[in-house]
Amino acid sequence: MRSPLEMFEGKFDHALLTTYSFNLRFFDEWVLPALWACEVRNVVVFVDPHQLGRALADPGSSAAGRSYHLVAAHAARRSFHSKVILLSGRDGARLSVSSANLTTDGQLRNVEVAAAFDSNLPGHLRPIHDAAEMFRSLARHAPEHAAFALHAALAALPPADETEKPAARVVHNLDQTLIEAFPAEGDVVVTAPYTDPGGNAARRLHALGSLRIIIDAREFAAPQSFFHDQWTVEPQAFEARLHGKAYWVRTNEQRWLMFGSPNLSRSALLATAADGNVEAAVIVQDESVTLPPPPGTPWTDAGDIAVEADDRYRAAQRETDEGAPGAFNAWEDEGLIRVEGLTDGTAVDWWTGETWTSLGVVASGALEISTLDSRPARLRAQLADGRIALAIVAQPARLKARLRARTGGRQADAASRLPLDIETVRVLEATLAELYALSELVAEARSPAPRVDPDPEADHGETRLTEWMPRHPEEEPRISSLYMSAWRSDPDALLALITRALRLDPQLANFEDHVASEHIDIEELDTFSGDESAAPVPEPTASATNRAALEKYRRAFDRLLDRGTEFVAKDSNPTLAAAAFQYLQRLVEELGTRTVNVDGQPTTLGDRSTLRHHSFQLLNGYLGRGDPDPICLPTARHHLALCLRDRDRLTSLQRERLERLAYQWAAELLQHESEPTPTEQETRIGLTDVNAWLAPFAQRTRWDDIARHAEELLDRARLTTDPYPILIGSAAFENRLSSPAWKLIAFAAPAGQATPAPFAAIVHNTHEDSHAVVHALVCAPKESLLHEAVLRRSDSHWIVHSFRCRDRVTLEIAGRTGPVDLERDSAARDLQDLDEAPAAVRKLAELIDRELAAS
Amino acid sequence: MTVEFGQPVWTTGVLGRPSALDDLGIEEVGGGLLRRLLPGIIQNTPNAGYYSVYPYLLWKWEQLDGDISRKAFERFYRRQECAFAVACALHSHRGGVGLSGLNGGDAGGKAAQEVKAGAAVVDLDRMAETYMDTPLGGYGLFYAAALQDARLVRAGAPGLVDKTTEHGAEVAAAFAETFERTRYYREHFDEGPVSAQVLRELGEAVCLCTVPGRSDHALLLETFFGEPLTEPAWEDRRQSRVESLCLFLEFHGQRPPGARADVGGWRRALVDPRFSDGTPWETSHEERRSAWRAYQCREAAVLALTTLWSLYLLELQDRARATHAELRTELTSWLKEEHLGFSPQATVSEATGLASEALTPRERLIAEVEPLHRKWGEDPRRSVATALRALLALRRDIERDVPGFSELLDEGGRHRWSLAYLDRWFAARESGTTVQAFGDLIDELHHQHVRVALSKVRIPSARNLRANKGRWRDPFCFAEDNEVLRPLRRDVPFWTGARFQVVNQLVWTLGLIDVPRGESSLTELGREYLQRYAHA
């Protein structure tokens, strides 16, 4: 075992943890995501109050109090020193008892001693229930909300089996001293990093028979006198710091072993919590279970170990100075913050705006906060003895809700087994970072957490936005309300993706690559032939998975994107819809470009045709709202171009909708070129190509461009807008069927059909042998009609035809084949002049007469 | 499964070799600003010639119907880069200057020495096997991203070879005019050992120093300067690059004889637009220069903060073990009026005014912090005072709203200690004493390091521990347990190089200045370009 955290595997619901020293960031960044990956949602951590005070000196934001209970454990007169982790839930229970604190050193650096138990293994229920009994005792010293959570965790334990032979027992000193658990006599071997100054515990153990103490020569701290007593001290050298504590006792009858948190000190071994520390340890009496000596080598340095240990001991005495901060418990209770362990009259500050600000004075064990416009998250109290005490303010309502809401099973699967390569994760995190930034922008003034607006009539836009997005990257995603309302029941990869649980690779902090480049002096560049650790562009390696796993996640992503599309299309908050649109399109891009190795073959994470469908649906949903945010337009532009490029792969219905979107939006999207654009790598399509795909659609929606197109078909082409848009010019054509007016009216269809007003094309025929002198087409969208008027050379009569014209597509058919495939609305009429023609055509009469007179 | 349930064990630990960069996470911001101010030119791309050579190799591979897989391209590429490296190493450079940044320069230099010692041929294919570890040598290591930003190359999909853009193809074709006339190309391009004479001729034709007047010269100038582009995203980058290059050319063009011509002179002029003899620096690109001023102010702050951090770690190392509180107490005790120029008991507000006054004109600020880069540990007490004074003085600069400058003040945000955040942070302590604020700052640096280091290590989940069995690198500067810190690794103060050396060599290879180092002056072409782009 490399770390007790290694036992975090499986599906659980609850976690109870105890520790002496505690690193808040380590827990938030490393332990909590690992617990989430096991679907644990109810977490209670007990920490020594003085150590917690030190941990809280870092005022940065934390998930403590919101995502987990963090309790200043006042159960010990001296130090709260036990290191126990108990998981319970669907997969039963797991327990770790060790010497490892919840710090980087404890879990990842030191040589610690540990044992893990699993309720599914024979004999393991007993030690698990021993630990549970210890937690039950601790609940008596915890605030009510934490005690409630603790009991919920214990209720999920598998029942004890009194008949089975225990593999080990877990002991603590809440009621009885640990020394009472030792055999009455025997030869004792101990390893521990600390001892009490008087050697009381060592003396007591030596009295059992004999005592040999194995120490880490570089780290052991004790007064010099300790080395000159009756026992044997055996210094050893270790690769890492030896922090484990273990006691072997050999009697005539048995071998006895105890290990865990207790040091070789009076407070640990000879006292109960009422007079000393709180400790927890495992006792093994099974001959088949052994713990070898710690992995050291004989110490060979010439230095005087006793002197050095004495120096360290004195330094340690200085380090535990009286002025060190402590910690107290605090929690919200409607308009109050209740505090535990502070006397009335104590002045309390809260952390806001990067500094401590006065919050008030404790009265009746509470502080009034109803007048504040923010929720205090971190408190500092000035105690009567001049010391400082710090606290996290717990939010019991939120923690209870968390306890009730079971995490979706597949969500955690996504977190732990999602076949994403590291590049994908980077991009997803980067996307989230943008959302953080947006969130900060909106809600900066209300740091650290928004208060729910009690006014139901008020605009909830900002509140909802901040609910969704964590204020700082350190925080847990605040997705709950959105998750509940819009992403309900989704087996969502979303929450998993946006938690830091996906930080699976050490190179995530890729900014180091850039920094490495900046560190290189150009004089050194030539030497980069061997050590190329500064390589700025590491080759990505694809993750490996199998087809079934990939399909599973493809389905999960499909559902996620379907729900996302619905949200984007329907949510009343345009800002949120815009952010979701951006995020989801980015996700589509990533899924389409990132690959995993499936049975040895590189395969894209998403199925391309499915992703194309999603991309289109997102575009349709978002642009269909009609209120696009300018920041989304570059994304929309690129994806619209991509869809147009691949439109042959869409269904006919989708193609039709796509073209409608393109005609509606292309011109506007092209106008927003000055906005930042996604990089070509993200979309695999260059800006030039994007513009090329959109331009034909944009041209047909702008009358100036249509007029330019008319110049290619007609001589002396021009556009007039009175009484409505009319394209006029001349050309030579044999008969009405070959008139360029058909092509022209079809080309202008998107612009013309965008309003109910008529539009027209008039062509004067320069072919003197043709029967037609003038050929005019008038489209009247309001009536869904296309009128054709031909001035006959032989008698100067107008022949007027009317056809049904439902939409742009009808006109495009006319553009290709003339009137042949159009449905007649009425029979052709032979008119002496246009005054008798339909209204829309009648309006052309004056214009045509003028033109004819001029010619 | 690595957990043997029920069995007591000694944990073996996970973290191993201490190793990391940017321990406070604040150094990357300066690099990011530089990449925005000078798109297409990074710290490792000081040779304009490579902006032809690499597009040419990609373009030629396509012309030859080469396979699109990157793997297939590698062999071809590596041989050509080796040939180029040896050819350049054999060449006597223009003006007798020493040229930096020759990719594969180590191996190329060795081959050149062997030639000079009498070797008749160079086995390029063998050399190509080992001359650089990175499969695509200098291109993969340094130039690929820059060439993309310079609109010459488009990145291929993972595993596939990159492609030239339309402009990149033009540049490549122009380079081909010269390159493909060489005997190397005509007779030895594909494989086999090559005679020293052929490589010498190749160097004469296409060495990195031979760009001026060559067939691709005009197009390279267009790459870096050029005409306005229709696509806004590219045009923004071009304009930013052109204006920034013009600032460098102005610096060399207007600098009076005797005024400082080194990076120190450049940094000082950026924060206070005058040369070291007091002559004002007139610019046609005021807004861009303000942006560079924001960059330089940011870097001064980074140097100050990393100095404090380095001193904190140095003190920890001296003590071998200490609590953070002890280190804080020690460092705050170093603040003395004799070094600060004001009492440590002065309020932050007063200290800000006094520090700013003492470091006016602003070139004094750079002059004061500059030595911290190399001499920070010589007199720790003075270094602490210098760093703190600089941080306080910078607040006055931040207050002034100047186009080009103000927009960049929040670069890095709260988590990377932007200048705006620095100001807000001090403002929150305005009425407290300087020494108290300094103590808080030491706390912040400690916390900042822990946050940053934590972000550099994967979560020690069961899956990750199983999948990564070796020791993971340890990104922390100290171990910390039971309140006590133990040193793991030191750090040194850092600020980015303001692209001074890189751009000087780059514009020299383009023929715009007469020497790449020292007292550079504009060439006639340099003057012409400066005039042409005065109001780009």
DSSP symbols for A174-239: SSS-GGGGS-SSEEEEEE-SBB-TT-HHHHHHHTTEEEEEEEETTT-B--GGGGGSSSEEEEEE-S
| Residues 6+ away with beta carbon under 8 Å from B9 | A1, A113, A114, A115, A291
Q: What band does A628 get if pLDDT is binned at 50, 70 and 90?
A: confident
| A105–B479 C-beta distance less than 8 A | yes
Are the Cβ atoms of B457 and A30 closer than 8 angstroms?
yes
Q: What is the ipTM of this complex?
A: 0.83
According to DSSP, the β-strands at A601-604 and B121-122 are: unpaired
What is the C-alpha to C-alpha distance for residues A117 and A93, in angstroms, rounded to an integer? 8
Least confident of A6-20, A839-853, B33-47, B168-182: A839-853
Would you call B8 and A124 a contact, using CB atoms and an 8 Å cutoff?
A: no
Sign of the alpha-carbon dihedral angle for A171, A177, A180, A185: positive
Chain A residues touching B3 at Cβ < 8 A: 1, 6-7, 116
Q: With pLDDT > 90 as the criterion, what percentage of chain A qualifies?
A: 42
Greatest mean pLDDT among A305-309, B27-31, B311-315: B311-315
Q: What pLDDT, on the 0 to 100 scale, is given for residue B406?
A: 87
**Residue with token string 């999948």:** B467
Spell out which residues of chain B touch residue A60, defining contact as CB-CB under 8 Å.
Answer: 447, 451
Cβ contact, residue pair B454, A30, below 8 Å: yes
Across the interface, whether the CB atoms of A518 and B462 are under 8 A apart is answered no
* Contact indicator for A582, A529 with CB cutoff of 8 Å: no
Please determine, for residue A217, whether its predicted confidence score (pLDDT) is greater than 80: yes
User: Higher model confidence: residue B370 or residue A436?
Assistant: B370
Asked if B10's CB is within 8 angstroms of A113's CB, the reply is: yes
Give A853's contacts (C-beta < 8 A, 6+ positions apart).
Answer: none
CB-based contact B142 A536, cutoff 8 Å: yes
| Residues of chain A with C-beta less than 8 angstroms from the C-beta of B2 | 1-2, 6
Q: Which residues make Cβ contacts (< 8 Å) with residue A507, sequence separation at least 6?
A: A422, A538
At residue B5, does pLDDT exceed 80?
yes
Bridge partners (DSSP) listed for residue B121: B195
Q: Please answer yes or no on whether A318 and B326 come within 8 Å at the CB atom.
A: yes
* Residue with the larger pLDDT of the pair A490 and B12: B12
Q: Which residues of chain B have a CB within 8 Å of the CB of A241?
A: 479, 481, 486
* Selected residues 182-201 of chain A with any CB under 8 Å from a CB in chain B: none
Cβ atoms of residues A435 and A428 within 8 Å:
no
Select from B8, B44, B464 the Cβ nearest to the Cβ of A517.
Answer: B44
Instruction: Identify the pLDDT of residue A539.
Output: 35
A111 with B11: Cβ contact below 8 A? yes
Q: Over 70: is that where the pLDDT of A45 sits?
A: yes
Residue A353, chain B, CB below 8 Å: the answer is yes
Q: What backbone torsions phi and psi does residue A17 show, to the nearest 5 degrees?
A: -135, 145
The chain B residue lying nearest A122, using CA atoms, is: B6
Using CA atoms of B25, B29, B35, B36 in order, give the dihedral in degrees to the nearest 10. Answer: 150
Task: Provide the mean pLDDT of chain A.
Answer: 80
C-beta atoms of A511 and B159 within 8 A:
no
Q: Does A549 touch chain B (CB under 8 A)?
A: no
| Residue A515 with chain B: CB contacts under 8 Å | 21-22, 27-28, 31
Phi/psi of residue B517, nearest 5 degrees: -135, 155
- Residue A216's pLDDT band, with cuts at 50, 70 and 90, is very high
pLDDT tens sequence across B251-296 = 999 999 999 999 999 999 999 999 999 999 999 999 999 999 999 9
- Nearest CB partner across the interface for A117, out of B2, B5, B481: B5
Instruction: Check pLDDT > 80 for residue A502.
Output: no
Give the nearest chain B residue to A32 (CA atoms): B459
CA distance B246 to chain A (A): 21
| Residue B352 or A286, more confident | B352
> What pLDDT score does A438 carry?
38
3-class DSSP state of A518: helix
Q: How close does chain A come to B463, measured CA to CA in Å?
A: 8
Q: Grade residue A457 by pLDDT with cuts at 50, 70 and 90.
A: very low
Identify all chain A residues contacting B144, using CB atoms and an 8 Å cutoff: 537
Between A307 and A593, the higher pLDDT residue: A307
For residues B166-181, give the mean pLDDT: 96
Give yes or no for residue A383 having a pLDDT over 50. Answer: yes
* Residues of chain A contacting residue B463, judged by C-beta atoms under 8 Å apart: 9, 37, 416-417
Is B34 exposed, middle or buried, given 0-12, 13-18 or 19+ CB atoms closer than 10 A? buried
Kindly state the average pLDDT of the residues B442-465.
85
Confidence at residue A573, expressed as pLDDT on a 0 to 100 scale: 67
Mean pLDDT of B403-431: 90
- Quick one: what percent of chain B has pLDDT higher than 70? 99
Higher pLDDT, B284 or A449: B284
Reported confidence tier of residue B414, pLDDT bands at 50, 70, 90:
confident
Is residue A120 scored above 70 in pLDDT?
yes
CA of B496, closest CA in chain A: separation in Å?
6
Average pLDDT, chain B: 93
Lowest mean pLDDT among A394-408, A473-487, B207-221: A473-487
- Model confidence at A548, in pLDDT bands (50, 70, 90)? confident
Whole-number pLDDT of residue A672: 65
Give the closest-approach CA distance of A87 to chain B in angstroms. Answer: 14
Spell B330-360 as b/e; 16+ CB within 10 A means b.
Answer: bbbebbeeebbebbbebbbbbbbbbbbebbe
SS (H, E, C) A478-493: CCHHHHHHCCCCCCCH
Residues B98-125 have pLDDT tens digits of 889 999 999 999 999 999 999 999 999 9
Nearest to B458 among A57, A117, A504 (CB): A504
Q: Which A residues, 253 through 272, put their C-beta within 8 Å of a C-beta on chain B? A: 257, 259
Contact A108 B460 (CB under 8 A): yes
> CA A256, A260, A265, A270 torsion: positive or negative?
negative
Is residue A170 classed as helix, strand or coil in its secondary structure?
strand
Contact A291/B8, CB-based, under 8 Å?
Answer: yes
Let me know: does A19 contact A52? Beta carbons within 8 Å. no
Tally Cβ neighbours within 10 Å of residue A210.
Answer: 15
Q: Where are the beta strands (DSSP E) in B267-368?
A: 322-323
Question: In chain B, what residues touch A525 (CB-CB under 8 Å)?
Answer: 44, 46, 100-103, 105, 142
CA distance B405 to chain A (A): 20
Say if residue A555's pLDDT is above 70: yes
From the CA of B130, how many Å to the nearest CA of chain A? Answer: 8
Q: Do A687 and B233 lie within an 8 Å CB cutoff? A: yes
Q: For residue A529, which residues of chain B lie inside 8 Å, CB to CB?
A: 104-107, 131-133
| pLDDT score at A526 | 65
**pLDDT, position A323:** 64
A822 φ, ψ (degrees, to nearest 5) = -85, 155
Q: Specify the range with the lowest mean pLDDT, choosing from A279-293, A561-575, A649-663, B165-179.
A: A561-575
Residue to test with chain A: of B3, B7, B9, B11, most A Cβ within 10 A: B11
Residue of A nearest to B32 (CA): A514
The answer to whether residue B134 scores a pLDDT higher than 60 is: yes
User: Sheet holding A14-19: strands in order across?
Assistant: A69-72, A42-47, A14-19, A84-89, A92-98, A113-118, B9-10
Residues from chain B contacting residue A530 (CB–CB below 8 Å): 106, 133
With a cut of 80, say whether residue B502 has pLDDT above it: yes
Express each pLDDT in A635-682 by its tens digit: 788 888 888 888 787 788 888 888 888 998 888 888 765 444 444 444
**Once rounded to an integer, what is the mean pLDDT over residues B115-140?**
92
CA distance A42 to A330: 18
Q: Tokens for B353, please give them.
A: 């005014």
Q: Which pLDDT does position A531 carry in this prediction?
A: 36
Top pLDDT among A281 and A686 is at A281
Q: How many CB atoms are located within 10 Å of the residue B470 CB? A: 7
- Whether residue A602 has a cis bond before it, omega within 30° of 0: no
Report the candidate in A781, A774, A830, A845 with the shortest Cα–Cα distance to residue A807.
A781
Task: Among A392-406, A422-436, B170-184, name the most confident range.
Answer: B170-184
Q: Please tell me which residue, A499 or A711, carries the higher pLDDT value.
A: A711
Q: CA-nearest residue of chain B to A293?
A: B10
Mark which residues 21-60 of A lie under 8 Å from B by CB.
21, 23, 25-26, 29-30, 33-34, 37, 51, 54, 57-60
Mean pLDDT, residues A556-567 = 74
Tokens, residue A516: 């490495």
**Residues in chain A within 8 Å Cβ distance of B473:** 506
**Mean pLDDT, residues B193-199 taken together:** 96
Q: Could you give the percent of chain A with pLDDT greater than 70?
A: 80
CA nearest to B109 within chain A? A526
pLDDT at B536: 55
For the CA atoms of chain B, what is the radius of gyration? 26
- Picking from A423-432, A696-705, B150-159, B279-288, which range would have the lowest pLDDT averaged per residue? A423-432
Contact of A483 with A408, CB cutoff 8 Å: no
Question: What is the structure's pLDDT at A484?
Answer: 35
Which chain B residues are Cβ-neighbours of A471 within 8 angstroms? Answer: none
Residue of B2, B10, B433 to mutate, testing the A interface (most A Cβ within 10 Å of its Cβ): B10
Distance CA A545, CA A10 (A): 19
Residues of B in contact with A472 (CB under 8 A): 414-415
Question: How crowded is residue B408: how many other Cβ atoms within 10 Å of its Cβ?
Answer: 23
A-chain residue closest to B101, CA distance: A525
User: What pLDDT, on a 0 to 100 scale, did the predictor assign at position A60?
Assistant: 76
Which pair of tokens denotes residue B402?
């100047």
